[in-house]
Amino acid sequence: MHSDVLKSKRTLLLIAAGLALSFLVERSGLVSSYVLQILMYVGINIILTLSLNLVNGYMGEFSVGHAGFMAVGAYMASIVTVWVFRNSLGWLAFPVAILAGGAAAAGTSLIVAIPSFRTRGDYLAIVTLAFNMIVKSLLENIEALGGPRGFLGMNRLTNLVWVYVWCAITIYIIRNFVYSNYGRAMLSIREDEVASNLVSVNTRQTKVLVFVISAFFAGVAGALFAHLVQFINPRTFSIQKSTDILVMVYLGGIGSIFGSILGATVYTVLLELLRPLGVWRWVVGPLMLVVLMITRPTGIMGLREFLGFVPREERAERRKEGTAIAAASR
């Protein structure tokens, strides 16, 4: 018990240190604004990757339209800051806008969640794709939101501290969800949906829950993104964007928090480093995805987790895993 308190204090300290560091980096001018921008992209991509990993990696469903949720969040949050708050209140309005973006995205996720009761695999992939296209097409047609020209007028409210805070919240919430009754239900859907339903798991409720949480964080990422670039248009949230998120998920590893962080970081930084290649840079992502799928379809960390992201009471069993299998085979 004593050491538990000590350890949880250490975790809190680590999180606080990260916060302080992000504040320092943001304010001190230690890094160039270009590097700062990349760091923020990394953070936003971590949120996107983790949220998609929940559906694709942990639940084993197959969503390929994640950018659609991001779009809903981005537009909603921008509407809140520009129209509702009229760019007043500065950063005070920002959490409200972010939450509104997340909530709006979560609401629309039902369009995808409900068909998932009856269809899965490729058919659900088509549903999510259609969703992505419908969102993009609707935004292009709503003149009030700028139509194809896009929406602008947001202040640059996003900074590294906000990104850090939301990354930490996303990791914390998703980790808690994964290691709960609902999280185990989600894993059992991936393993065998019919059996899951037949050992008392309410698979429908679980699916809705997972889609809602996943979409919420995609919406949050969209809100942060919109207030970083200060200009959004429907084309930003195309299938291309969804594919980028898929690459990050499958690069880092399905069903792994650490994997998502790794995948988002490596991919974002890599694309920046490849900037000198010009248009050829865009060939890299798809090519990587194909090679990855053929050589290591579960990604670098596939289904494995860095113990730091496993709640303490679950760690004991994880450590024993190796030895028990050896014992079983004897």
Among 12, 91, 141, 306, binds other proteins (CB under 8 A): 141
Q: What angle separates helix 66-79 from helix 93-108, to the nearest 10 degrees?
A: 140
For residue 221, the minimal CB distance to other proteins (Å) is 18
Lookup: tokens for 138: 């609707």
Count of other CB atoms within 10 angstroms of residue 190: 17
Site for other proteins in 63-92 (CB under 8 A): 64
Count CA within 13 A, CB hemisphere, residue 61.
35
- From the list 29-37, 72-80, 137-145, 268-276, the region that binds other proteins by CB under 8 A is 137-145
When the beta carbons of 33 and 200 are compared against other proteins, the nearer one is: 200
Separation CA 94–CA 92 (nearest Å): 5
**Of 18-26, 34-42, 47-55, 115-123, which part binds other proteins (CB under 8 A)?**
115-123
DSSP state string for 183-218: HHHHHHHHH-HHHHHTTT--HHHHHHHHHHHHHHHH
Q: Does 280 bind other proteins (CB under 8 A)?
A: yes
User: Are the beta carbons of 254 and 298 closer than 8 angstroms?
Assistant: yes
Listed ranges 27-35, 150-158, 225-233, 293-301: which one lies at the site for other proteins (CB under 8 A): 293-301
Answer yes or no: are the C-beta atoms of 252 and 142 closer than 8 Å: no
SS (H, E, C) 213-242: HHHHHHHHHHHHHHHHHCEECHHHHCHHHH
The pair phi, psi for residue 142, each rounded to 5°, is: -90, 105
Query: Is residue 133 a contact point for other proteins (CB under 8 A)?
Result: yes
Sorted by sequence, the CB contacts under 8 Å of residue 280 that are 6+ apart come out as 274
Stretch touching other proteins by CB under 8 A, among 13-21, 159-167, 175-183, 265-273: 175-183
Distances (CA, A) of 124 to 61, 131, 219: 8, 10, 20
Closest distance between other proteins and the C-beta of residue 194, in Å?
6
Distance CA 41, CA 57 (A): 22
Strands 151-152 and 231-232: antiparallel
Q: Out of 140, 165, 229, 269, name the contact with other proteins by CB under 8 A.
A: 140
Judged by CB under 8 A, which of 90, 153, 297, 308 binds other proteins?
A: 297
Identity of the residue, 1 or 279, whose beta carbon is nearer to other proteins in the bound complex: 279
Tell me how far, at minimum, the Cβ of 300 lies from other proteins, in Å: 15
For other proteins, which stretch binds (CB under 8 A), given 72-80, 91-99, 138-146, 259-267?
138-146
| Part of the chain binding other proteins (CB under 8 A), chosen from 16-24, 95-103, 262-270, 281-289 | 281-289
Q: Which of residues 32-61 bind other proteins (CB under 8 A)?
A: 56
Which one, 217 or 228, has the nearer CB to other proteins? 217
Per CB under 8 A, contacts with other proteins among 184-243 are: 184-185, 187-188, 191-192, 194-204, 209, 239-240, 243
